[in-house]
Structure 1
Amino acid sequence: MTQALRRGGTLVGSEPWAKAALAVAVLTLGVFGFVYLQHALALVLFPYDWDQGEGYDAWSAWLIDRGQWPYSGNQAFPYYSSNYPPLWSYVVSIVMAWAGPGLASGRAVSTIAAVGCAAVAGSAVWFQTRTAWAGLGAAGLVFASPYVFHTTPLARVNALTVLFALLGVWAFERPTNRRLAWGTLALLLALFTKQTAADAAVACLGFVLLTRPRAGLAVSIVLGAAGFSLLAAFNVLTGGAFWLNVVSGNANPFEARQLFDYAVNFALIHPLPLALAAWEAASAMRRRAWDPWTLYFLASGVAALGVAKLGAGESYFLGFVASGAVLASRRLVRLLASPPITRGRPVWAVAALLLVAGQAVLYAHGPLALGGVLVDRGLQAPLLGRTPTAKDRQAGDAIVAAIRRLPGPALSEDPSFAVVAGRPVVANTTHLRNLYDAGLWDPTPLVADLQAKRYDTVVLNAQLYPQPVLDAIGRHYYLAQTVQLNGFTYQVFYPGAD
């Protein structure tokens, strides 16, 4: 590919007009990278949930550090289970062994993983093109997406999943036996971080089956056997709780309107890289120039349709963003090497700068969302689009103080408040609701606990518990305090007279 990008022995990108345009584009993407890192550091230092579910993922890591499985039948106190495979929790537990429970370890691991995602995307493009600006551009496109800004610095499994997936795709790019072995391991790690990494596995296996059928069959057998063996082992070791929580518990209903809203939103925010990536993918498919990045782009685009699931969000597009960054950068290198572009020179430079400026406006988020046309357009921007402030910290501290007024356990919809207050986490709110809606969880024991006022404090914000639990709280607890934090009204309840 490198030879195709050269003209007369000189890279087009080395000409003055191209240098100026590319420097502006790369610097613009660099600003987004700086904004991301500043936001991620602020989150690491902020001890309270910024996204519903962070505290549960982090608590699963703490349980593993304590030598406990984060899976149960959910029918006895503390009614807690994770709904993800255990790898992310295990990695975070290594940090928690010296840092203690809380969100900081999980957020730090996820941030490092997100930086790794950008590094892998950039390195893959550099090795393909031997063009530094293209590699930097691919890395910058990962950081520039508001979807990446919103979801990857959180204590969630998503960034590490995509990192392992990208490493697998990169390894399969040159399918030697050694690289296939490393790539298969990376895919296995991705699948046991989050099940949605199946898109990368499908892409990689499809590529090697097309290019090296015998090796592809062998890799498919090895990956399948290893995956099913681990699944069976986890299920046996947890008495069936792994299947209940990680497989059955994630079979959520689909909402067509949610799919439509996210698909339109993603396309409106990412038009330039999406168009370039689609162009590159279509060209590769037309030429039958199979490569795992093209197949991963297509597979992750299909997998992103899972955003229609109840409770899904922008994180379902992360693989699509990363693979799209690779293909878009590759296509841009091809464009700059094409005769119409090289003849146009300054005219094309101006056009390129205008396109970059327009895309940068659509990418605005965090401190760059200054108002007017510079607004964060992501659907999760109202909750995840800003950085925590001192006022947010004070609000969280007020909730913790309310929990500490009474000595007993707390039932907190966002569990980080209980953890900071020194209480154990009780119940995984949305997971129990999903199980309840699927007929897989009986709320009677938890309702009985509430009737007996076993919990000295109950903290609600979005009221995501199953309805019988909410009804029991309303009957047996009274509202003692409300606190405003990140767009939510947190309600603190104490036991009351029936």
Structure 2
Amino acid sequence: MSFNQSFYFWVFIVAVFIMLTLAFFPLERAWRCLQYPYGLDYAEGYLAVEAWQLAQGVSMYPNHDNYPYLVGNYPPIYPFVNALMFSVFKPSLFWGRLICAITALGIIILMFCAVYKKHSLLLPSLLAPLLLINTYEFYEWIGYARVDLPSIFFSLAGLFVLLDKKGETNKRRMTFAAVLFLFSIYTKQIQIFAPIAACLYLIIQNRKIGLKFSGALWGGVLLVFALLAVITRGEYFKHTVIYNANRFDWWQVYVWFRHVLRFYFFYMATLFILAASITYESIKNKKKGGAPDLFNLYALIGALSFLTIGKIGAAGNYILETHAAFGIFFGSALSKAIEGFRTGIKQRLSIALILIAALFINLHSLWLFRIQRILFSRPNPGKTAYAKSEMLMKIVSEHPNPILCEQPIFLLLAKKNVIFQPFIMSELAREGKWDQSQFVNDLENQKFSLIITGQNMLQEGFLWQYTDEMRAAIRANYMEYVESGDSLQQASWNAFMRSGIDGIPYYIYIPKKETR
């Protein structure tokens, strides 16, 4: 069987065209979110609060003997960069989202360069980041001011600079990589998979150098940790370790595994076939003294990191790095197959792998095109979101401190105090790590002039954001906010504010003793 040397490009043309076209949607979402001043996610506002605390010279890891009951879930790098902007400009989600958008573009570039640097093949280098861009998770999280994309950027940058084009390293490269890995870990503490891959790779290549690098890297991690713990009088340890050690639920792993198969079945099948081929070749090469590829190790560890999705409170952000690792692995594996075809080494096997990969990735892209409304279904801010948020901003501005609001950006913009973080504090109360009695007592005494949530607090049923005791106190002592004396107008207003269309629903409550 004879093939033109460029046949591999044409067999992927459908996938390239479709995924390049669909890539517009995540980029458009990032642009639209940058222009929206209010919250789109329940956690991004609290990162803005932490940045504001740092800008004011206040610790983002408070003691919980009294208010504020807030948790600094993450290390300080991302809030610190935000704080630099807040020291010049007013509090805003813009800067955090801009950081995430820039690092998302950086991840795309790094994925392309990681494959191209080693293989100098355009097609696999292009497909690698396209497979990440066209995921449900990337589309959702590119719009949020969260730590995930910046931390992944630092991880990939560390892997990228560790080796030169020939796969060799030196002291300068290892030092630079170690610094980038430190940045990744102190942006998000669970961002350890790329550093682990780097350490394993270097140990396999040269045991002495690898152990020295590992000791320096993890020693540096522990040193920074100890310094932060001392500076915060132990609160850094409590907030980032004890308070983050949430329960693990295998049901969540099962749900997300089904999610992956639903969206990426053909892609996962391709990865399995390529991995099986590479594993077979690696076993053969081991006898000849061959060493594993750095990004193959990263993909393997990235696959294992999928299990972190079982942590209570985890969401699609926990598999973003898995997508990035898999994309680079696919690009690298396809490149090796193309090189085998070009050089004539095991040409039949190489052609078979290229054709199978092309078939499955084309099917994958066609499937994504078919389900694009679901793939890109996370709401973007539109007219409804703007109108609701402006109304809510007016209500918040008119009420005195303290106010309980799940979207703290409204409180920051209205210059109100942010004193409670519902989800994490409720989870800590359930786990016995925090005594909720003072907060529940304050609810019973109607301390808060407003309570703004994303759920109906007057209905029965379990909610992650609040304990049963908190909800009981709210139901007994608070009532729905009344905007209009006309019942029909009030019902219409409630329906509008509680709509989840292109934004977050808002349920507003006031103390029962209050009248309008």
CA distance in 2, matches of 1:99, 1:25: 44
> 1:233 is matched by which residue type in structure 2?
L
Task: Judge conservation of contact 2:155–2:181 (CA < 8 Å) in 1.
Answer: yes
Residue of structure 1 aligned with 2:90, choices 96, 100, 108: 100
CA distance in 2, matches of 1:191, 1:485: 38
Equivalent in the alignment of 2:412: 419
Equivalent in the alignment of 1:477: 478
Per-residue CA distance 1:356-384 (angstroms, 9 max, x = gap): 442124435xxxxxxx754425xxx76xx
Aligned 1:247-262 pairs, distance under 5 A = 247-262=241-256
Residue of structure 1 aligned with 2:40, choices 44, 50, 68: 50
- Could you tell me how far 1:422 is from its partner in structure 2? 2.9
Q: 3-state DSSP class of the match of 1:402?
A: helix
Residue of structure 1 aligned with 2:395, choices 386, 396, 402: 402
Q: Please give the TM-score of this superposition, normalised by the length of structure 2.
A: 0.84
Task: Judge conservation of contact 1:110–1:154 (CA < 8 Å) in 2.
Answer: yes
1:238 is aligned to 2:252: no
Residue of structure 1 aligned with 2:201, choices 199, 207, 211: 207
Task: Judge conservation of contact 1:54–1:156 (CA < 8 Å) in 2.
Answer: yes
Aligned 1:179-218 pairs, distance under 5 A = 179-218=173-212
- Could you tell me how far 1:458 is from its partner in structure 2? 0.9
Q: Please give the TM-score of this superposition, normalised by the length of structure 1.
A: 0.87
- Could you tell me how far 1:213 is from its partner in structure 2? 1.1
> 2:200 is matched by which residue type in structure 1?
G
Residue of structure 1 aligned with 2:439, choices 434, 442, 446: 446
- Judged with a 3 Å threshold, the aligned counterparts in structure 2 of structure 1 residues 375 and 306 are, in CA distance, closer, same or farther, namely same
Equivalent in the alignment of 2:113: 123
Q: 3-state DSSP class of the match of 1:458?
A: strand
CA RMSD of aligned residues (A): 2.9
Task: Judge conservation of contact 1:55–1:415 (CA < 8 Å) in 2.
Answer: yes
Residue of structure 1 aligned with 2:507, choices 487, 491, 495: 491
Instruction: For structure 2, list consecutive stretches of 5 or more residues without a partner in the other structure.
Output: 456-462, 483-493
CA distance in 2, matches of 1:243, 1:86: 12
Instruction: For structure 1, list consecutive stretches of 5 or more residues without a partner in the other structure.
Output: 1-7, 365-371
Residue of structure 1 aligned with 2:365, choices 344, 360, 368: 360
- Judged with a 3 Å threshold, the aligned counterparts in structure 2 of structure 1 residues 135 and 226 are, in CA distance, closer, same or farther, namely same
The number of residues matched between the two structures is 475
Greater Cα shift, 420-429 or 161-170: 420-429
Q: 3-state DSSP class of the match of 1:493?
A: strand
Task: Judge conservation of contact 1:71–1:241 (CA < 8 Å) in 2.
Answer: yes
Q: 3-state DSSP class of the match of 1:48?
A: coil
Per-residue CA distance 1:373-421 (angstroms, 9 max, x = gap): 54425xxx76xx2322111111122222222222323110222232233
Greater Cα shift, 418-427 or 319-328: 418-427
- Judged with a 3 Å threshold, the aligned counterparts in structure 2 of structure 1 residues 478 and 281 are, in CA distance, closer, same or farther, namely same
CA distance in 2, matches of 1:167, 1:349: 28
Residue of structure 2 aligned with 1:133, choices 105, 123, 126: 123
CA distance in 1, matches of 2:354, 2:117: 25
> 1:456 is matched by which residue type in structure 2?
S
Larger radius of gyration: 2
> 1:269 is matched by which residue type in structure 2?
F
Q: 3-state DSSP class of the match of 1:161?
A: helix
- Could you tell me how far 1:105 is from its partner in structure 2? 1.3
CA distance in 2, matches of 1:402, 1:251: 36
> 1:497 is matched by which residue type in structure 2?
K
- Could you tell me how far 1:126 is from its partner in structure 2? 0.5
CA distance in 2, matches of 1:353, 1:217: 40
Task: Judge conservation of contact 1:363–1:376 (CA < 8 Å) in 2.
Answer: no
Task: Judge conservation of contact 2:30–2:101 (CA < 8 Å) in 1.
Answer: yes
> 2:511 is matched by which residue type in structure 1?
P
- Could you tell me how far 1:143 is from its partner in structure 2? 0.9
> 1:63 is matched by which residue type in structure 2?
Q
Per-residue CA distance 1:59-116 (angstroms, 9 max, x = gap): 1122222222211122322222211111111122233333421221111111111111
Residue of structure 2 aligned with 1:146, choices 136, 153, 170: 136
Per-residue CA distance 1:434-491 (angstroms, 9 max, x = gap): 2212211111232333344332211011451233333332233221154224365421
CA distance in 1, matches of 2:44, 2:4: 43
> 1:166 is matched by which residue type in structure 2?
L
Equivalent in the alignment of 1:177: 171
Q: 3-state DSSP class of the match of 1:492?
A: strand
Q: 3-state DSSP class of the match of 2:433?
A: coil
Q: 3-state DSSP class of the match of 2:46?
A: helix
- Could you tell me how far 1:224 is from its partner in structure 2? 1.8
CA distance in 1, matches of 2:275, 2:173: 23
Q: 3-state DSSP class of the match of 1:197?
A: coil
Aligned 1:66-77 pairs, distance under 5 A = 66-77=56-67
Equivalent in the alignment of 2:374: 376
